Homo-oligomer: A and B are copies of this chain.
Amino acid sequence: MSDDITISLQEAETLSKKVLIKNGFSQAHADAITKSVLAAQRDECHSHGLYRLIGCVQTALNGGVDTDAEPSITDQAASVVKVNANKGCSLLSFELGKPMLIEKAKANGIAALAINNSFHFSALWSEVEALSAEGLVALAMTPSHAFVAPAGGTLPLLGTNPIAFSWPRPDGTPYTFDFATSVVARGEIELHRRAGKSIPHGWAINDEGKATTDPVAALAGAMLPFGSYKGSALSTMVELLAGPLIGDLLGHETQAANAEKTGKPFHGELIIAMSPEAFLGSQAESHLKHAEVLFDSILGQGARLPSQRRFEARERSHANGVTFPKALYDELNALAS
């Protein structure tokens, strides 16, 4: 007997929108959130899939996100578009800012979209992939709650600060990566705690700044950046670019807002898009084809490309629908009625 259920992508989409609309989200927000959650469920990223709707609704009920916020778009500079999410979810701001970002990147070669004052809970890869689908190279980053100590430090300060990148490939499936700049996701430490297992060395420090393999001590202490001082530097860069550069908060400030139960840890996101056509003119196609040599060489020596599993899952989901715990399905239906 399986505790899972399989539904079609269409059914999952309908369910997601019902949950969101029922809980106060405007149609525009429900559409944008569903697009992201559905993409993650389709790619079997369960942590960012339909499961996220529960947290999203809970945040809305707690007043932590404005469910019908109307983002305001500013044509800030020739290559910069800013979208103020006005305390709504970041995803609608991305959808509304995207056309101008694409237009500017294609016209000028490189352009940036800054999203401010947003509630952010989604995977970045779906956004950079949406830009690659338009033939653009894209890079995205956002600060998150300050659970990570800088290399050499002892206290949580940096967010898990993800970086995502996508490169358009001639066959239609982009080269995409999306990773936290912490060694692991915080959820991994949670899973070890629940299973009563110790965590590997190098993941975290305790509240005295000492190395620990105890997940409870780790959660009370700080996670470590990946790759020691290099990952720490990259994480700091994410804080600066998706924070002060776009006039928004640092990771530990969103954390403070959360801890104070003001429930409004709104912050920023930066997306940079580049157009191979603008950089290369008529030679763009041949150079994009040339990049395939690199991917072929990686695969040819038995290594994998970063999103390979996700793309395989995507094919399965398009063919067979999405499979997830029946308990989650029941919970979502309860939220929708």
Contacts and interface: CB of A to CB of B under 8 A. Distances in A.
A108 B78 contact: yes
Interface string A197-216: 00000000000010000000
Interface in A82-134: 82, 107-112, 114
A33 interface: no
B291 A243 contact: yes
B233 A279 contact: no
A278 B250 CA distance: 20
Interface stretch (A1-9, A56-64, A144-152, A328-336): A144-152
A245 B276 contact: yes
A112 B36 CA distance: 30
B247 A153 contact: no
A301 B155 contact: yes
A77 interface: yes
Nearest to A176: B233
Contact of A150 (B276, B291, B301): B301
A110 B107 contact: no
Contacts of A290: 244, 250
A241 interface: yes
How many copies of this kind of chain does the complex include? 2
A185 interface: no
Interface string A135-174: 0010100000000011111110100000101010000000
Contacts of A287: 244-245, 247
Given A179-B233, A231-B230, A109 B137 contact: no
B112 A274 contact: yes
Given A79-B109, A110-B111, A112-B109, A153 B250 contact: no
Given A77-B278, A157-B297, A236 B149 contact: no
Interface stretch (A39-47, A257-265, A302-310): A302-310
Interface string A214-254: 00000000000011111111101101110111110010100
B298 A233 contact: no
Interface in A277-294: 278-280, 283, 287-288, 290-291, 293-294
A78 B76 contact: no
A80 interface: yes
A272 interface: yes
A181 B291 CA distance: 19
A324 interface: no
A247 B149 CA distance: 39
11 contacts: A76-B109, A77-B275, A157-B298, A177-B236, A226-B230, A226-B231, A227-B231, A232-B303, A236-B298, A239-B294, A247-B283
